[in-house]
């Protein structure tokens, strides 16, 4: 009986402890902003952090993930350099953009695998609350997390008001997290 209880506890702990590491390989952090009315985009990489994802115990879920501002890539080296500078992201002083969960909720979407992220986004030294739906798809022992949300760049002190550059930035996340 004792052996049966110990076995149950070991398997229960293994089922609860679902730790993952985000990876650049198989992931994409993409943004789109209108510049002169034309959608311009770019990508960020340097994913790092910790994810604890337990679909049957959402209270145990934790996301604490960052990307490196110095990896910004818009297919234009001059623009990338300007974006990394003090006028926009100030990568030297604020090298990371970080997203942290406060809680993960189920959504009312009819298909399974959809959740609601509630937490904060820190960029350019400013932390603001953020919430958005995301999907979690098992990929063998790993997970692919996909979500989309928009922010106002001025809320984070990124750049200044402009007649040609939109304030709204759409961010698409497709993050492959490997079991650790």
Q: Do residues 88 and 71 make contact, with C-beta atoms less than 8 angstroms apart? A: no
pLDDT category, 11, cuts 50, 70, 90? very low
Quick: pLDDT tens for 132-147.
Answer: 999 999 999 999 999 9
CA neighbor of 106 nearest in space, from 143, 134, 147: 134
H/E segment holding residue 140: none
- In 3D, which of 20, 30, 62, 63 has the Cα closest to residue 180? 20
Residues 52, 60 contacting (CB under 8 angstroms): yes
Q: Which two tokens stand for residue 10?
A: 């070991």
Q: What is the mean pLDDT of residues 8-14?
A: 44
Q: Taking 90 as the threshold, does the pLDDT of residue 4 lie above it?
A: no
Summarize pLDDT for 31-77 with one digit per residue, the tens: 999 999 999 999 999 999 999 999 999 999 999 999 999 999 999 99
pLDDT at residue 110, as a whole number: 57
Predicted pLDDT at 17: 56
């Amino acid at each position: 009986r004792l052996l049966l209880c110990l076995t149950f506890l070991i398997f229960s702990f293994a089922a609860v402890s679902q730790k993952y590491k985000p990876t650049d390989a198989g992931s994409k952090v993409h943004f789109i902003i209108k510049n002169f009315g034309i959608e311009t985009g770019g990508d960020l990489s340097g994913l790092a952090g910790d994810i604890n994802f337990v679909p049957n115990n959402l209270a145990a879920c934790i996301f604490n993930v960052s990307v490196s501002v110095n990896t910004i890539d818009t297919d234009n080296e001059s623009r990338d350099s300007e974006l990394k500078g003090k006028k926009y992201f100030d990568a030297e002083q604020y090298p990371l953009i970080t997203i942290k969960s406060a809680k993960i909720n189920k959504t009312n979407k009819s298909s399974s695998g959809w959740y609601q992220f509630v937490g904060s986004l820190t960029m350019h030294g400013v932390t603001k609350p953020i919430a958005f739906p995301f999907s979690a798809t098992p990929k063998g022992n790993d997970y692919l997390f996909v979500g989309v949300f928009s922010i106002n760049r001025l809320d984070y002190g990124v750049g200044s008001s402009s007649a040609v550059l939109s304030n709204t930035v759409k961010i698409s996340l497709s993050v492959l997290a490997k079991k650790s």
